[in-house]
Amino acid sequence: MAVLAIAFFALPLAGLMSRAPWSDAGTILRSPNVRQALRLSIVCSLCSTALSVVFGLPLAWLLARRRFIGSSVVRALCTLSMVLPPVVGGVALLYALGRRGLVGQWLDRWFDLQLPFTSAGVVVAQTFVAMPFFVVTVEAALRQTEGGQDEAARTLGASSWYSFRRVTLPAIRSALIAGAVLSWARAFGEFGATITFAGSFPGTTQTLPLAVYRALDVDPREAIVLALLMVAVSFAVLVALRDRWLGGGERAR
Amino acid sequence: MTLRAHVVVARGTLNLDVWLDAAAGEVVALLGPNGAGKSTILRCLAGLLGIDRGSIEILGSIVDDPSAGTFVPAEQRSAGVMFQQYLLFPHMSVLENVAFGLRARGVDKATAHKEAQHWLRRVGSEEVERSRPSALSGGQAQRVALARALASEPKMLLLDEPLAALDAATKVEVRRELRRHLTEFKGSAVLVTHDPIDAYTLADRVVIIEQGHVVQSGTFTEIAAHPRSAYVGELVGVNLLTGSVMGGVFAVDGGGTLVVAADDIDGSAIAVIRPQAVSLHARRPEGSPRNTWVGVVVDVDFQADRARVRLEGPIQLTSEITAGSAATLGIKVGLEIWASVKATEITVTLN
């Protein structure tokens, strides 16, 4: 059964490789369109990972360490986008942050700020679907290390902040990295929310997955090359980090 | 008093209402069964848990008083806490663990490490300063935890079951060291334990806690002589004699010897004798008891169908007999009577 499962995951990859136009791959990869999409994908996914960490860490801490009324509702709300179809997320973002949206109209009126169909919009859409992966991973780790060490630090005269930095964060280091990688991977591959909220404009909002989708219509050979490029980048990151942080990391330390 | 507290807390099924005080240099043991609320009291004193009612005063300043809205958090209480599971920080070296309190208070790294080394030397653990806590034995971890609590020079020391996690062999040695450090400590210390021997050997005063309330307090000897309830009698009403053991003979401090079954240990020790194991006789007993002597009854305490008889003489201890035999023997204060204990009824632990 395990072998079947492995085959199930390997087969599509083999399918891509079998149809890849290896001779033209270099030319396609060097085309400005592709380079633009790759650069945009990397920059936006890194930005959204950064946002996921900056906002997700306090959120994970709140969910793990504070008891408050409705905390389970808040947790469900904050992880909803993990199970929601991304397109639905994109539509929802449009009605919230779009030019006529709930908040978007004020952003537009007061700050002349429009998020939809901009690179910033891409980052917002990606963060919306990717942050829960970071929050869930880190919250679980925070729960595991619950209480004791932090209390020990406080009796030794450490402020909550000092204890958080020196005791709690090092204790959940692997989870922080795992969570960041997971949310980065999710952002890097994000499609539905991005295309709905930010559109697909080459150079500003057309990330690699969107470029693959467009290329399928125009030039399937380009689509295959782009798809393999995404596979290569994601695979490299997962392999590089897996052994150290996601799996055997605990023992190695 | 450097510590004066009235702790009232309701948590789940536990309703805690305890008065507690401790003078400078005094070691107070909270003794009681698991779930009696001892650790909760310690958490309140440390500032990890707020009290519902009452007040806690340390060195003349109120640190917790819900009626006045005062609550000084743990990090500002300067209470050194040693947790039952030690809770050393796993990602730091032993040295960094001990220096943590000083670093948290803004002391620079070099000074803090020097001070930490000083404390590690004092507890005899300087050779493990580079190790990670996971590499330490139970005894070493206990010493490091003590050094960490002492290094930030606390006003008060709070120890939660400091010896419970140790095996019997290590316990003897660590207990002896702990006693020395407690003696040297200038502030007041509160110690939570369920082991009467810990309370007897480490504390100046014992407070017995049962179901969230103080049932009795005083020196261990006082409580052992006059336990106020059958439960307290069970818990501390044992005869504890300090002395030294050699070749199966226990020499009691202050005179008297007892033949004991333990002939494989030598040195400073404590003999534990249950009052029920001390029998009283009108005439010199014959047969197996190796330890017989004549004592004088100085006190009789009747509890339901039992009588606790306090004897003086070559060896001072308490005997518990049925009220019936007390009547038959005509027990009364001033009576001279034969006492005997079988060697196998005496438990000897090194001290």
Give the tens place of pLDDT for each residue, B62-87.
999 999 999 999 999 999 999 988 99
DSSP lists the bridge partners of residue B110 as none
Asked if residue A106 has pLDDT above 80, the reply is: yes
Query: What CA dihedral angle connects A109, A110, A115 and A120, to 10 degrees?
Result: 160
Q: Does the beta-carbon distance from A149 to B89 stay under 8 Å?
A: yes
* Chain A environment of B48 (Cβ under 8 Å): 151, 154-155
Q: What is the pLDDT of residue B236?
A: 80
**In this complex, which of B81, B89, B91 lies closest to A155 when CB atoms are compared?**
B81
Provide, rounded to the nearest whole percent, the portion of chain B with pLDDT above 90: 59
Distance CA A122, CA A126 (A): 6
Distance CA B321, CA A199 (A): 93
**In this complex, which of B79, B91, B92 lies closest to A155 when CB atoms are compared?**
B79
**Residue B144 amino acid letter:** V
Q: Does the beta-carbon distance from B78 to A166 stay under 8 Å?
A: no
* Chain A environment of B73 (Cβ under 8 Å): 154
Asked if residue A253 has pLDDT above 50, the reply is: no
Q: What is the pLDDT of residue B58?
A: 92
Q: Does the beta-carbon distance from B47 to A155 stay under 8 Å?
A: yes
Asked if residue B268 has pLDDT above 50, the reply is: yes
**In this complex, which of A157, A159, A160 lies closest to B101 when CB atoms are compared?**
A157
Asked if residue B338 has pLDDT above 70, the reply is: yes
Residue with tokens 């009283």: B280
Residue B289: band (very low, low, confident or very high) from pLDDT cuts 50, 70, 90:
low
**In this complex, which of B46, B73, B87 lies closest to A149 when CB atoms are compared?**
B87
Residue A138: band (very low, low, confident or very high) from pLDDT cuts 50, 70, 90:
very high
* Chain A environment of B96 (Cβ under 8 Å): none
User: For the residues A12-27, what does the mean pLDDT come to?
Assistant: 85
Q: Does the beta-carbon distance from A153 to B89 stay under 8 Å?
A: yes
Q: What is the pLDDT of residue A217?
A: 87
Range from A71-85, A133-147, B112-126, B249-263 that averages highest in pLDDT = B112-126
User: For the residues A158-187, what does the mean pLDDT come to?
Assistant: 91
Q: What is the pLDDT of residue A248?
A: 43
Q: What is the pLDDT of residue A125?
A: 94
Q: Which residue has the higher pLDDT, B154 or A242?
A: B154
Q: What is the pLDDT of residue A246?
A: 53
* Chain A environment of B100 (Cβ under 8 Å): 153, 156, 158, 166
Element (H, E) at A147: none
* Chain A environment of B160 (Cβ under 8 Å): none
Asked if residue A113 has pLDDT above 70, the reply is: yes
Q: What is the pLDDT of residue B340?
A: 92
Q: What is the pLDDT of residue A251?
A: 40
Asked if residue A146 has pLDDT above 70, the reply is: no
Q: Does the beta-carbon distance from B104 to A152 stay under 8 Å?
A: no
Q: What is the pLDDT of residue B135?
A: 93
**In this complex, which of A157, A170, A173 lies closest to B75 when CB atoms are compared?**
A157
* Chain A environment of B152 (Cβ under 8 Å): 156-157
Alpha-carbon distance B83 to nearest alpha carbon in chain A (angstroms): 8
Residues from A in contact with B at Cβ < 8 Å:
148-149, 151-160, 162-163, 166-167, 170-171, 173
Model pLDDT for residues B137-147, shown as the tens digit of each residue:
999 999 999 99
User: For the residues B247-261, what does the mean pLDDT come to?
Assistant: 88
* Chain B environment of A168 (Cβ under 8 Å): none
Asked if residue B3 has pLDDT above 90, the reply is: yes
User: For the residues B248-255, what does the mean pLDDT come to?
Assistant: 88
Model pLDDT for residues A225-246, shown as the tens digit of each residue:
888 888 888 888 888 776 655 5
Letter string b/e over residues A133-168, b meaning 16 or more CB atoms within 10 A of that residue's CB = bbbbbbbebbeebeeebbbbbbbbbbeeebbbebbb
Q: Which residue has the higher pLDDT, B236 or B152?
A: B152
Q: What is the pLDDT of residue B266?
A: 87
Q: What is the pLDDT of residue A249?
A: 42
ipTM: 0.79
Tokens at A105, concatenated: 């109209």
Alpha-carbon distance B298 to nearest alpha carbon in chain A (angstroms): 48
Q: What is the pLDDT of residue A20?
A: 84
Strands B3-11 and B14-22: antiparallel
Asked if residue A124 has pLDDT above 90, the reply is: yes
Asked if residue A38 has pLDDT above 70, the reply is: yes
* Chain A environment of B89 (Cβ under 8 Å): 149, 152-153, 167, 170
Q: What is the pLDDT of residue A180?
A: 93
Model pLDDT for residues B298-332, shown as the tens digit of each residue:
988 887 788 889 899 888 888 999 989 999 999 99
- A/B interface, count of CB pairs below 8 Å: 65
**In this complex, which of B87, B92, B104 lies closest to A157 when CB atoms are compared?**
B104
Mean pLDDT estimate for chain B: 90
Q: What is the pLDDT of residue A45?
A: 95
Q: Which residue has the higher pLDDT, B224 or B25?
A: B25
The answer to whether A184 and A237 are in contact (CB under 8 A) is: yes
